[in-house]
Amino acid sequence: MALFNVHFFKEKSRKIDLEQLIAFFESIEGIHVEMDEKSVRFHYVHPRLQHESLFIITPKSQVPDIYRLSPKFLDLNFHLEMSILTPDYIAKHLFELVKKVCDRFDFHIYNEMFEDVLAFKMEVLVKVFDMVKQAYIAKNPLLLSDYHLVAKDKLHAIFRYLDDLSELQKYYQELETYVPKYHFLVTEKKELKTGIEWKEHTLTVFPPHLDMVFYRLANEIKVIRYDELYPLIEKFLIDVPGFIKGTKVMPKKLSSKVYRIMKKTKFTKVTHTFQKETVKKLLD
């Protein structure tokens, strides 16, 4: 796996307060700390999106061409390792963690694409990461056969919905409204489809960028294309307040009209066969 690295430096000092650093990382959801005589490893797994990365302290410097860098900054032998094929939403989240580390411990950062060590700047790090990722993809196009490419804004919305799913579920619990998770599905033509389950006579949230609805009746499941369903029920749905554009919810006062439409409409039969896909195979 090709890696993108962010190295930590300190001005005129190599001192790390290891106890404070460990306490800092242990307070972050998704972090698992390991250490031995070889290294201190902060394994990170995103709690809802499953992507993995590693913050690691090593005995020796991992910085290439370190002697060309400004001598006033000293390498801490501490860096972040993440896959070059990390989606932008996850990368930005990891860089927010890097920012917190820098702010808390007064660290600077370096990547091989920088001219020198820098104070943390989100826009610089995001831009460099995107350049490296796009160049790597252009050079290794066959790697993409293992992934499903999704437009950046679309994947950002999908990831944000999944990231905020539990909060949304808490919000709608008192309103007796079902907040579904996505099902990621691949057709026989290797096309990616997003789907949800919707149970008959159930108030439901409809996430953004939806392709399929699996409508669960007492004795069967109907597979319905969302682009066929949505125009029929659009006027009876409302936006989820303060949330991602395109996220809709069925309010109780209009639900009976939706239920009637579902009962009387004969939807086009969907002939696809689907295989499940994991969220880790989506790439922007």
Note whether 270 and 223 are within 8 A (CB): yes
Q: What angle do CA 163, 48, 19 make, to 5 degrees?
A: 110
- Every domain of the chain and the residues it spans: 3-145, 152-281
- Structure tokens of 2? 């090709």
Within the chain, residue ranges assigned H as helices are 18-26, 88-105, 122-139, 152-163, 165-173, 226-233, 252-264
pLDDT-derived band of residue 143, with 50, 70 and 90 as boundaries?
Answer: confident
| Mean pLDDT score, 240-245 | 90
Q: Quick check: pTM over 0.85? A: yes
pLDDT category at 271 given cuts 50, 70, 90 is confident
Contact call for residues 203 and 250 (beta carbons, < 8 A): yes
Burial of residue 191, with CB atoms counted within 10 A of its CB: 0-12 exposed, 13-18 middle, 19 or more buried: exposed
Per-residue pLDDT tens over the stretch 63-90: 988 999 999 999 999 999 999 999 999 9
